[in-house]
Amino acid sequence: MRILVVEDEHKIANSIKKGLEQEGYATDVAYTGTEGFDLASSEEYDLILLDILLPGINGIEICKDLRKKQIHTPILILTAKGQVSDKVEGLDAGADDYLTKPFAFEELLARIRSLLRRPKDNIGSVLKCEDLTLETLTYQVKRGDKSIQLSSKEYALLEYLLRHQNQVLTKEQIINHIWDYDADVLPNTVEVYIGYLRNKIDKPFPDKPALIHTVRGFGYRLGA
Ligand code: CA
């Protein structure tokens, strides 16, 4: 796995590089936006960590330009604390996730692992857990042979849980990924939607193992 870090603060960039290399990721660093864009568009990376405020081209522009060039490498944006508009802009520009600085290195690693697990090309894939299947091309969800009708939010939530199965996902992670940034979402909303999903994928199948688990104090996990 090879990661590009685009960050102009040398101290931060170098400590990220050092930490990632200890985890076994090959890591390149670009200290300017221009250099970052050049590397990102000429080399093959599995992931790009992108600061927003950079000399040369800023992170948002880099994101947009890479997507325009059909480069779909997962991008994790590093934003300054509380800059909600940066996050929105970044995600709109084609970034996959964001992390607010200062961050805990453990969280950075967790987000990197989750992005690296995400298939680059989602077209027509079938996500599966036990006998639960979700077809991303047709939006068809089944438990065994039985079709399950989901609303679009329920579908998005289930897809997210399936892509991260056996991981504990916090409510905040779920909100950030499913409701993005547009809605005023209360933590309770996640519980409500998890309840809807349970009523459709677990409760009607009492003879089968429940797939959605509450991990008290942490969040939710989908798995057998
Ligand atoms: Ca910066």
Domains of the chain (ranges plus CATH)?
2-116 (3.40.50.2300), 126-222 (1.10.10.10)
- CA distances 8 to 32, 63, 76, Å, are 6, 16, 16
Ligand 1 centroid–CA 20 distance in Å is 19
Ligand 1 centroid–CA 22 distance in Å is 24
What's the confidence (pLDDT) of residue 181?
A: 45
- CA distances 85 to 53, 91, 191, Å, are 13, 10, 27
- CA distances 130 to 36, 68, 157, 223, Å, are 42, 38, 17, 8
Residue 206, preceding bond cis, omega within 30 degrees? no
Ligand 1 centroid–CA 48 distance in Å is 15
Ligand 1 centroid–CA 152 distance in Å is 37
* 100 bridge partner residues: 79
**Looking at 38-130, which runs of residues are DSSP E strands?**
47-51, 75-79, 97-100, 126-129
What's the confidence (pLDDT) of residue 123?
A: 46
C-alpha span between 214 and 174 (Å, rounded): 13
User: In a structure prediction context, what are the per-residue pLDDT tens digits for the chain, which is 224 residues long?
Assistant: 789 999 999 999 999 999 998 887 888 999 999 999 999 998 888 899 999 999 999 999 999 999 999 888 899 999 875 667 777 888 888 899 989 888 899 999 999 988 887 655 444 578 999 999 998 777 899 999 999 998 878 988 998 899 899 999 998 888 866 764 445 677 688 999 999 999 999 999 999 999 999 999 899 999 98
Ligand 1 centroid–CA 7 distance in Å is 6
Ligand 1 centroid–CA 13 distance in Å is 10
Ligand 1 centroid–CA 67 distance in Å is 21
Of 93, 167, 164, whose CA–CA distance to 178 is shortest? 164
- CA distances 2 to 79, 81, 112, Å, are 22, 27, 11
Q: Is 66 helix (H, G, I), strand (E, B) or coil?
A: helix
Ligand 1 centroid–CA 150 distance in Å is 42
